[in-house]
Amino acid sequence: MVAAPALGRLVAATVTALALGTGSASAFPTSPTTTPMCAGVGTPRTLVAQPSAFEAVAFDRDGRMLLSNAFGNSVDVVDGPGAPPRPIATVPSPGGLAPVPDGTVLAGSGNALTAFLAPTAELRQLNPATGEQAVVARGLSMANGVVRASDGTVYASSDVEPAIDRISPDGRVERGWYRASTGNGLALSADGRTLYANVSTGDTSIVAIDTETAESRVHFRPPAGLEWVFFDDLDIDSAGRLYAATYFGGQVWRIDPDGTHCAIASGLVLPAGISVGAEGAGYSRDSVYVTTHAGSVLEIPNAVPRR
């Protein structure tokens, strides 16, 4: 989920990446050579490769993979490893995806340049089985990253202005609930007390936001000299480890609660969306799944350490 200020670079980079026809390449981009590689992680394998740009990735209640397809203006489903993506709902400028326990999924709509002009983004709830959808919140800043708490509260980010919106379970929008920085990918701690947000531009970092007070602190910064990597999407596992895609860095970083980090993949082309895996449709809880703006979906095996 790349910011609108980087749109020109995205277009040029995506054209290059599509010409390469793969989710990884040695020439583009140049990944940092100083990032330590995580031990025991398998080699990334490509599950999907097509001329497209995939934003977010998530898994529904049945363990099926869901993708927001930026070029297709759709939310797609991949029924299992090896299956092709198929559109299940038209969603203009799709952004973040957040599964709901009842089997539906929340999808951001309006993740586009129009976010500069007015808060016109929406939150839609759709049924992956039927494609039926309904708008459940309007007037959002961007709905770039979307995450849902267990009590039904939803957080939606913007990476073009300092605004993370909060949507109550009954659909009331508190626009700009958090304004200390922009936000990109979002992840919630298991107890729901901490919202982690990727700050992609400016003070490149991952901030930890108290969901009661909206006060924040810096949880992680990249090493000096790597501020350019551009943190994109974000996810968290059951042990509180964060997984962050570095869009221009071409890597996926695993960040432990103590702040140490390593790369679970390197040499990727424009990694954008990220999700820890789920079981139920042939995918694995031990894997991390990554979408790219080069039209690929990758599985990184054994990326989630077992307790």
Place of tokens 């800043």: 141
**Is the model's pLDDT at 23 over the cut of 60?**
no
Residue 7 has pLDDT above 70, yes or no: no
Q: What is the pLDDT of residue 19?
A: 38
Determine what percent of the chain is predicted with pLDDT higher than 90. 83
Q: Which regions of 61-109 does DSSP assign to beta strands (E)?
A: 65-69, 74-78, 86-90, 94-99, 105-109
- Convert the pLDDT of each residue in 150-186 to its tens digit: 999 999 999 888 999 999 999 999 999 999 999 999 9
Please tell me the predicted confidence (pLDDT) of residue 116.
61
Instruction: State the average pLDDT over residues 225-246.
Output: 96
At 35-62, the pLDDT tens digits run: 999 999 999 999 999 999 999 999 999 9
66-82 mean pLDDT: 96
Inter-residue long-range contacts of 252-257, CB under 8 Å, 24+ positions, other chains counted:
252/288, 252/290, 252/300, 252/303, 253/35, 254/38, 254/303, 255/206, 255/220
> What's the pLDDT score for residue 14?
42
Task: Tell me the residue type at 293.
Answer: H
pLDDT at 2 over 60: no
The pair of structure tokens assigned to 176 is 């700009």
Res 20 pLDDT > 50:
no
Over residues 216-225, the mean pLDDT reads: 96
Helix (H, G, I), strand (E, B) or coil at 184: coil
In angstroms, the Cα distances linking 137 to 51, 112, 116, 124, 190 are 31, 17, 19, 7, 25
Above 90 in pLDDT, residue 234? yes
Across residues 274-295, what is the average pLDDT?
A: 96
Residues 19 and 43: their CA atoms lie apart, in Å, by 23
Tokens of 73: 């203006």
CB under 8 Å to 172, separation ≥6 — which residues? none
Position 202 scores a pLDDT of: 83
Q: How confident is the model at residue 241 (pLDDT cuts 50, 70, 90)?
A: very high
Strands 242-246 and 186-188 turn out to be unpaired
Q: Percent of the chain scored above 70 by pLDDT?
A: 88
Q: What is the pLDDT of residues 265-274, one digit of tens each?
A: 999 999 999 9
Mean pLDDT to the nearest integer, 19-26: 42
pLDDT averaged over every residue in the chain? 90
Q: What is the mean pLDDT of residues 190-213?
A: 96
The answer to whether 135 touches 89, Cβ cutoff 8 Å, is no
For the chain, the straight-line distance linking the first and the last C-alpha, in angstroms and rounded, comes to 30
Per-residue model confidence (pLDDT) at position 134: 97
255: pLDDT strictly greater than 50: yes
Q: Is the pLDDT of residue 93 over 90?
A: yes
CA dist 212 → 66, 87, 178, 192, 216 (Å): 30, 37, 11, 10, 11
Residue predicted with more confidence, 202 or 139: 139
Whole-angstrom distance, CA of residue 218 vs CA of residue 147: 19
At residue 197 the predicted structure's pLDDT band, cuts being 50, 70 and 90, is: very high
